[in-house]
Amino acid sequence: MPELPEVESLRLYLMSQDLIGRTVVDVSADWPGIENTSDGLGGLSQLRGRRITGLSRTGKNLLARLDHGVLWLHMGMTGRLAVMYPSDEPLRFARVTFFLDDERRVELDDPRRWAGVRFEESEAGLLSNVGPDALSVELTSDEFVRRVKTKRSPIKAVLMDQSVLAGVGNIYADEALHRAGIHPARRADRISEKRLTDLHTAVRTSLLQALCYIVDHPDERGRPYIVDAYDDRMRLQRKKDAICPDCGTPLQTRKIGGRTSYFCRQCQT
């Protein structure tokens, strides 16, 4: 699932494609029930004639700022964005296509259809339930500890709670907890502030290392690819018979916060 590093790599890719200043001339969209919306496009017809003025990201949320309004994009489980040229065949699972004034188009490809896209007149309130970005300067170590230490949920669930901090999902929560030596099921309010400070560093390190890996490994078109179950950006192999990279003990799995956690019962306490 695209988490902070994957979504930031998408933003960097889109920035590299000189989309700022381009105008959206048309939109097509295809998802269940869209024909029943007022414009038959889920409100996206309002994008016509709008010029792209910026691309920002908070957690897993991408915002394309326009000369009027803002486009919110969320990649869900399997979404990705690709800039396409007139000679390119449409992507197989293209759900939304934004046609630009230079004949290129941006396609949102999403096999599982859980990606989100919405036009809003204003940015106000759009991300009101989203906490500070996990890599933002506002999320200092002290602020991280303050936001986490009163929670009575398992620390893994707290890390994945987008209202506490934004951008960490199932995979990078496991990576950070292994790096910090903290058991994913440990209650957040029972972890010392020293260990939470270490965890904040581990979160940042896990996200930044993954981002560097993704940026260094684009596909043949220069596009970032979306995470598979396991690759070299991760310490923990998410598969049967995987072992701890530090001590060699077989990794354990357990459902925490509705998601499968991989962890080492020797190294994580």
Binding site for Zn ion (CB under 5 A): 244, 246-247, 249, 264, 266-267
Instruction: Enumerate residues 6+ apart whose C-beta is below 8 A from 258.
Output: none
Instruction: Enumerate residues 6+ apart whose C-beta is below 8 A from 226.
Output: 2, 6, 75, 78, 79, 80
Q: Which of 51, 151, 187, 259 is catalytic?
A: 259
Structure tokens given for 144:
């991280």
For Zn ion, the closer CB: 136 or 266: 266
Least separation in angstroms between CB 166 and Zn ion? 29
Q: Which of 11, 57, 60, 238 is catalytic?
A: 60
Least separation in angstroms between CB 202 and Zn ion? 15
Whether residue 3 lies in the annotated active site:
yes
Q: Could you count the other beta carbons within 10 Å of the beta carbon of residue 107? A: 20
For residues 31 and 95, the answer to whether their CB atoms sit within 8 Å is yes
For Zn ion, the closer CB: 113 or 186: 186
Residue nearest Zn ion, CB atom distance? 244
For Zn ion, the closer CB: 212 or 247: 247
Least separation in angstroms between CB 227 and Zn ion? 23
Structure tokens given for 178:
């292994």
Least separation in angstroms between CB 252 and Zn ion? 10
Closest CA to 247 of 261, 236, 234, 258: 236
Least separation in angstroms between CB 228 and Zn ion? 23
242 CB-contact burial (10 Å; exposed 0-12 / middle 13-18 / buried 19+): middle
For Zn ion, the closer CB: 141 or 266: 266
Whether residue 2 lies in the annotated active site:
yes
The CA–CA distances, whole Å, from 122 to 23, 95, 210 equal 18, 24, 32
Q: How far is the C-alpha of 109 from the C-alpha of 18, rounded, in Å? A: 20
Whether residue 240 lies in the annotated active site:
no
Phi, psi of 24 (to 5 degrees): -80, 120
Q: Which of 2, 5, 154, 184 is catalytic?
A: 2
For Zn ion, the closer CB: 173 or 211: 173
Instruction: Enumerate residues 6+ apart whose C-beta is below 8 A from 240.
Output: none
Least separation in angstroms between CB 238 and Zn ion? 15
In one letter, which amino acid is 180?
A
- Cα dihedral 192, 193, 194, 200, rounded to 10, equals 120
For Zn ion, the closer CB: 55 or 202: 202
Whether residue 60 lies in the annotated active site:
yes
Tell me the catalytic residues.
Answer: 2-3, 60, 259
